[in-house]
Chains A and B, each alone.
Chain A
Amino acid sequence: MQKLQTQYDRSIPFNETLGLEKEQKDLFVITGEPTEDPHSNRTYLPDTLESTGDNGKTPNKVVSLRSPSLSLQHKFKVLQKWEGTIIEILNEECRAYIREFGSQNSIEEVTFSIEEIPEADRYLVVPGAIFYWSIGYDDHIDGQRNRISSIRLRRLPVWTEKELKKAEEEAKTLFKLFNSE
Chain B
Amino acid sequence: MTQIPEIDQASVVMLGSFNPAIFHPAWFKCYKLIRDEEADSAEIRLTSPQFADFSTKWFHLQVLTERFYILTNDSFHFEPLRDLVLSIFSLLEHTPVKAIGLNRTMHFKMSSIEKWHSFGHFIAPKEIWKDKMKNPGLLSLVMQDKRDDPPGSVNVRIGPSEQIQPGIFFEVNNHYDLKDNNDIKNLLKIIKDLWDGNIVFAREMAENLLEREY
Which residues does A use to contact B, with CB under 8 Å? 4, 14, 16-20, 24-25, 27-29, 41-45, 51-54, 63, 65, 67-70, 72, 74-78, 81, 83, 101-102, 118, 120-121, 132, 134, 136, 148, 150, 152, 154-158
Inter-chain contact B80/A44, CB cutoff 8 Å? no
Chain A residues with CB under 8 Å of B37's CB are 120
Q: Does B100 contact A (CB under 8 A)?
A: yes
Could you tell me the distance between the alpha carbons of A27 and B9 in the complex, rounded to whole angstroms?
31
Chain A residues with CB under 8 Å of B155's CB are 42, 44
Known: A19-B24, A43-B103. 13 other contacts (CB 8 A): A27-B48, A41-B15, A45-B13, A45-B171, A63-B51, A68-B53, A70-B9, A76-B73, A81-B76, A81-B79, A120-B37, A154-B80, A157-B31
Chain B residues with CB under 8 Å of A72's CB are 7, 73, 163
**What residue of chain A has the Cβ atom nearest to residue B8's Cβ?**
A76
Chain B residues with CB under 8 Å of A20's CB are 46-48
Could you tell me the distance between the alpha carbons of A80 and B4 in the complex, rounded to whole angstroms?
12
Inter-chain contact B71/A70, CB cutoff 8 Å? yes
Inter-chain contact A70/B72, CB cutoff 8 Å? yes
Inter-chain contact B100/A65, CB cutoff 8 Å? no
Q: Does B110 contact A (CB under 8 A)?
A: no
Which residues does B use to contact A, with CB under 8 Å? 4, 6-9, 11, 13-15, 24, 31-38, 44-51, 53, 55, 59-62, 64-67, 69-77, 79-80, 83-84, 86-87, 90-91, 99-101, 103, 105, 155, 157, 163, 171, 173, 175-176, 196, 200
Could you tell me the distance between the alpha carbons of A158 and B9 in the complex, rounded to whole angstroms?
28
Inter-chain contact B175/A43, CB cutoff 8 Å? yes
Chain B residues with CB under 8 Å of A81's CB are 76, 79
Q: Across chains A and B, which 7 residue pairs bring their CB atoms closest together, nearest first?
A: A43-B101, A19-B47, A44-B173, A120-B35, A43-B13, A68-B62, A70-B73
Inter-chain contact B15/A43, CB cutoff 8 Å? yes
- Give the contacting residue for B11; candidates A4, A45, A101, A134; CB below 8 A: A45
Could you tell me the distance between the alpha carbons of A134 and B65 in the complex, rounded to whole angstroms?
35
Chain A residues with CB under 8 Å of B50's CB are 27-29, 53-54
Whether A148 touches B60, Cβ cut-off 8 Å, given contacts A45-B105, A70-B71, A120-B37, is: no
Whether A76 touches B74, Cβ cut-off 8 Å, given contacts A132-B80, A155-B32, is: yes
Chain B residues with CB under 8 Å of A78's CB are 8, 75-76
- Give the contacting residue for B60; candidates A18, A69, A120, A155; CB below 8 A: A69
- Give the contacting residue for B175; candidates A42, A63, A102, A132; CB below 8 A: A42
